Amino acid sequence: MKFSKWHIAPAEEADIRRLGEAGYPQLVSQVLAARSISTAEEAAAFLERGRDLTCSPFLMKDMDRAVECISRAIGQGLRMAVFGDYDVDGITATVILVDYLKSRGVDVLHYIPRRIEDGYGLGQDAIRSLHEQGVELLITVDCGITGVEEVDFAASLGMDVVITDHHECKDTLPRAVAVVDPHRPDCTYPFPYLAGCGVALKLVLALGGESREEALFSRYCTLAAIGTIADVMPMSGENRIIVSRGLECITQSDFIGLHALLQEAGLMDKAITSVQVGFVLAPRINAAGRMGAADKAADLLLCQDPAEAARLARELCALNRERQAVEQTIYAQAVEQIDHLPPQERSALVLASDTWHQGVVGIVASRLSEKYACPSFMIHLSGTVGKGSCRSWGGFNLFAALERCSDLLLDFGGHELAAGFTIDVANIPSFRQRMNQLVREYQGGGAPEVCLEIDAALTCPSRVTLTEVEALGMLEPYGAGNARPLFCLMGATLERLQSVGQNRHLKLRLSKGSSQFDGIFFSVSPDTCPVAAGSRVDAAFYLQINEFRGNRTVQLQMVDIRPSLTVSTREDECLHLLERCLRGDRLLPKEAVHLLPSRSQCVQLWRALEHTVPPEGLTACYLPLLRELSARLEGADPFLRTAFCLEVFRERQLLTLRQEGDTISITLTGQGKHVRLEESGYLQGLHEVMQPKRGGDHHD
């Protein structure tokens, strides 16, 4: 079970019914109601996908200065360079601006730093190299906002610099000709949540002028959509417009390299959604930067030759497979390190190794944050310096936390959810201690629960049809603030499990009532699955369409599965009977027969408890534990008699038992060999009810 708690969003049935009457499909209505949208008017506003950007680029601080500087350089025929970042956002931003400048006849280079050799952001060596190549104007995209010294260095060489970025600003801005960043404190741009490629797009629209805005937006919206999705930007406002328009146009894009990548990734003949971009397309572009070949991705997207584009696309996909293998190795090593950390160092995971690939540690940090429900900091060591990537959890502001550790760092940058930093190896222990303290302060002393947020429970599985699942596309595009809808099925039966993908993934089948669903559970094997075939389970999943050999079926993409916390009809009857017995209600003899365990069942349960409950006690979900223990009892009514025996053992002080909600805590007292069960008031009460039919058995 990946998540310790599931939270199903509350939704009013009246709201779901009202939306359904307005024409919205059932599943869409459930999701909208779960997100506090209750009327047809609110739904229409939420689902609207505008086609045109409404905010003028010149509302952004310094945009006029950037346009003036670049336009003058174009007029003078100056050589320019676009300096990008090595992630998907930076690569797409670079391609957008380079392609536009080339269309204006500009002699333009692009420079994307190598993640390992150059590090993040502007570097003096790169600036010197570009100057030696005759560059007179340097334009940054998706980076540069913290490059105060680097911009001064460029100025000392006689180079002008225009900064475009979207990351958080420090107290001092670079002394560039223009600094375009919607996060500038003095920038009043109405939508400050653009990705770096979104800011680059705005620059291109400003350079082109109003008369060319539609044509330029049509050309570059697809690249901007890919970068915006990959950078997990809020999916509202202008981002929603950029991504909606970009996904709509992706298969008609003018970029030959993008078509080659779609073909190589198996997406060319499929409807492209934000899910495909985020999990199929973007990782292949990102792999180039992570494996030290970001230029290869930019070259692909700028490529004009179909054969060359096909070759580069194959190379990117091969790099992605290599990245996946490296990631698995680092992840396993990181988990081993965590297993040896003391409790006071688990609020924030600060891990380091000189064998880890610097380009991959950020992905591993994301996986660790999800697994352990805390911020993660992965540091690649090289000599006396460590280069770290970190990912947030639970709303913890990484950028603010790094600022509070700035005296221990050589450099840092990023934003609230993801950041990077450089640190002297000698400072890592102090950094680990302080960061753990900051996270504990943020948490207020309590460790956060790993809570899974679910939109809706499927109470009528038979209504989950292909048409209903396809209709969920109305909610696209997904992203921050508009998550992909997550559903759950409670009290289902796990019919079967099957490992696939060289035992790396799991195929399964669930049933409830007359409905059956096939599912895929990535990165889970039968050995690591917390439930077995035949179990009663709760399942959380995304709904998707699986296409295989021309057949289209509903498929569950599993997110979590657990022993069911919901009672079956039979279990509910058993627990109700037990409650009546404990309350002292009058029982019928036939009811007492069902409750009364045999001596062998009492012994079997006690032995099961001795093997299950550690000396320090056990805290577990009540219903799954009852089912697990009852599976070890032979004879009639094992579930009911297990629940009854636990109460008898508690009454006779063989164990302590505390129940809170769905959770039960059990501690054995170790007195089992010295207690006579026949003296239990509960057992004696049952014998009295049954006395006309049978004598009293002894339960030792």
Q: Give the residue, 281 or 695, on which the prediction is more confident.
A: 281
Q: Are 595 and 640 in contact (CB under 8 A)?
A: yes
The predicted structure's pLDDT at residue 2? 65
Nearest CA to 27 out of 452, 451, 479, 489 is that of 489
The predicted structure's pLDDT at residue 426? 96
Nearest CA to 95 out of 225, 263, 269, 268 is that of 225
Across the range 352-362, mean pLDDT stands at: 90
C-alpha to C-alpha distance for 537 and 221, rounded to whole angstroms: 43
State the DSSP H helix or E strand holding residue 310, giving kind and residue range, or none if neither.
helix 306-339
**Could you tell me the two tokens for 128?**
């010197």
Q: Are 165 and 173 in contact (CB under 8 A)?
A: no
The predicted structure's pLDDT at residue 177? 97
Is pLDDT of 303 > 90?
A: yes
* pLDDT-above-90 percentage for the chain: 74
Cα dihedral: 146, 149, 153, 159 (round 10): 30
Q: Are 686 and 665 in contact (CB under 8 A)?
A: no
Q: What are φ and ψ of residue 172, in 5° steps?
A: -110, 125
**β-strand pairing of 487-500 with 505-512:** antiparallel
**Could you tell me the two tokens for 665?**
């805590």
C-alpha to C-alpha distance for 28 and 34, rounded to whole angstroms: 10
Helix %, strand %, coil % of the chain (to 5): 45, 20, 35
Torsion sign (Cα): 11, 17, 20, 22? negative
Residues pairing with 7 in the sheet: 453
Lowest mean pLDDT among 264-273, 464-473, 592-601: 264-273
**Could you tell me the two tokens for 108?**
């333009």
In the three-class reduction of DSSP (H, G, I as helix; E, B as strand; rest coil), residue 576 is classed as helix
Q: What is the pLDDT of residues 176-219, one digit of tens each?
A: 999 999 999 999 999 999 999 999 999 999 999 999 999 999 99
Amino acid at the residue 83: F
Is pLDDT of 119 > 70?
A: no
The predicted structure's pLDDT at residue 448? 58
> Would the pTM of this model clear 0.95, i.e. be above it?
no
Q: What is the pLDDT of residues 496-538, one digit of tens each?
A: 999 998 788 899 999 998 999 999 998 888 888 888 898 999 9
Q: Residue 661, Cβ neighbours under 10 Å: how many? A: 8
Q: Are 8 and 456 in contact (CB under 8 A)?
A: yes
- Sequence-distant (≥ 6) Cβ neighbours of residue 141 within 8 angstroms: 82, 83, 84, 85, 90, 93, 94, 96, 97, 164, 165, 196, 197, 199, 200
Is pLDDT of 696 > 80?
A: no
Provide the CA 292 distance to its chain's centre, in angstroms. Answer: 25
For residue 477, say if its preceding peptide bond is cis, omega within 30 degrees of 0.
yes
Q: What are φ and ψ of residue 58, in 5° steps?
A: -75, -5
Strand runs (DSSP E) across 445-568, as ranges? 451-454, 456-457, 487-500, 505-512, 515-521, 536-548, 551-563
Is pLDDT of 142 > 90?
A: yes
Q: What is the pLDDT of residues 31-85, one digit of tens each?
A: 999 999 999 999 999 998 888 888 999 999 999 999 999 999 999 999 999 999 9
The predicted structure's pLDDT at residue 487? 97
Q: Are 143 and 201 in contact (CB under 8 A)?
A: no
Instruction: For residue 680, name the pLDDT band (cuts at 50, 70, 90).
Output: very high
The domains found in the chain, sorted by start residue, are: 5-47+455-563 (2.40.50.460), 57-319 (3.90.1640.30), 332-451 (3.10.310.30), 569-690 (1.10.10)
In the three-class reduction of DSSP (H, G, I as helix; E, B as strand; rest coil), residue 15 is classed as helix
Nearest CA to 500 out of 558, 561, 564 is that of 558
Across the range 666-687, mean pLDDT stands at: 84
The predicted structure's pLDDT at residue 695? 46
Indicate the average pLDDT of the chain: 91
Across the range 263-272, mean pLDDT stands at: 87
Q: Quote the radius of gyration of the chain (alpha carbons, Å).
A: 30
Instruction: For residue 671, name the pLDDT band (cuts at 50, 70, 90).
Output: low
The predicted structure's pLDDT at residue 655? 92
Look-up of token digits 């692909």: 300
The predicted structure's pLDDT at residue 445? 59
Q: Any idea what DSSP says for residue 468?
A: H
Across the range 339-367, mean pLDDT stands at: 91
Across the range 362-371, mean pLDDT stands at: 89
Look-up of token digits 């350079």: 207
Is pLDDT of 1 > 70?
A: no
